[in-house]
Amino acid sequence: MNISIFAAGAWGTALAIVFSARHQVTLWTHDSDLAYSLLQERENRQFLPGFQFPNSLEIETDITKALAKADLLIVATPLLWFRETLASFRDCGPLKPLLWVCKGLEAGSAKLPHQVVDEELGDLFAEKAISYGALTGPSFAEEVARGLPTAVTLASTNLDFAQQMASQLYTPYFRVYANDDLPGAEIGGAAKNVIAVATGICDGLKLGLNARAALMTRGLAEITRLGIALGGRYTTFLGLAGMGDLILTCTGDLSRNRKVGLALAAGKKLSQILAELGHVAEGVSAARELARLSEKLQIEMPITRAVDDILHNDLPVLQAMEQLLSRDIKPETA
């Protein structure tokens, strides 16, 4: 299969490396300077240093050529540039089956990625009966590129397509599980980033492992409540796209969102944290959109709202923790 991956960040690069073991892969970037560096060094020293490219991996800056040669498109941009990338596909020739790997809710609209796809390309996909879906779950780019064992979810409303793509994309160390709960998988991927900021704050304040476990558990309850309200299935949130991704992002030292929380606990300002991070931390914008969404749907998400207040309303982290701990005691299932 010919695969074109759009965006040569850490995750796009990692997928290009792993999928090159079975397929012909093209890695596209709009940045001509980055493309030159990738071609000359056969390594992405800017976003994923230390991993040599397979000889077969091609680099492309012409989006029309990247689309034309592909049997499968994978968009690996941050959510911030997801809509713009999709829109650029409209005038570049026939569309192909599409996967995306971004996680979050679009800033300002609170739309999930599949809703953005439907708005930008839904008419073309429907006309040609082309399927699409999300590749999500617990996966750090560095570990995927290193060839360490990883298991992810490929979610699509078309289960046959999800199963077909899962069988095509798996490798002995990269297991792909098909799922037909696309909204649930996307909510799991978006909301866990916010809980990871909270657990980073918790660990930075040295509140202990008991507190971290409590935050993660109650965070999963928040994610599940919202996900079910948006059409997701309960079982999805117990799987790779829910609990699995939550555990990794809340505890792994490679987690960007956890790093944001640790830095907030150390007293750093958000603008400084993001400048030092050098990568997108989707939990920062997702916290704002999830808090608004929970208020609109009247769903209790106290951890999410506390993170939003810390990030966007300058609530001191200690005050936020005190507010969470002073909430009325309720049954655990509430």
Q: Which residues pair with 285 in a beta bridge?
A: none
| Helical ranges in the chain per DSSP H | 10-19, 32-41, 63-68, 82-89, 113-128, 141-146, 159-169, 182-204, 209-229, 245-251, 256-265, 270-277, 282-297, 302-312, 317-325
**Length of the chain, please?**
334
Local structure of residue 54 (DSSP, 8 states): P
What are 50's two structure tokens?
């230390």
Question: Alpha-carbon distance 36 to 49, whole Å?
Answer: 15
DSSP string covering 202-233: HHHTT--HHHHHHHHHHHHHHHHHHHHHTT--
Residues marked active site are found at 192
Nearest to 235 by CA among 138, 133, 153, 301: 153
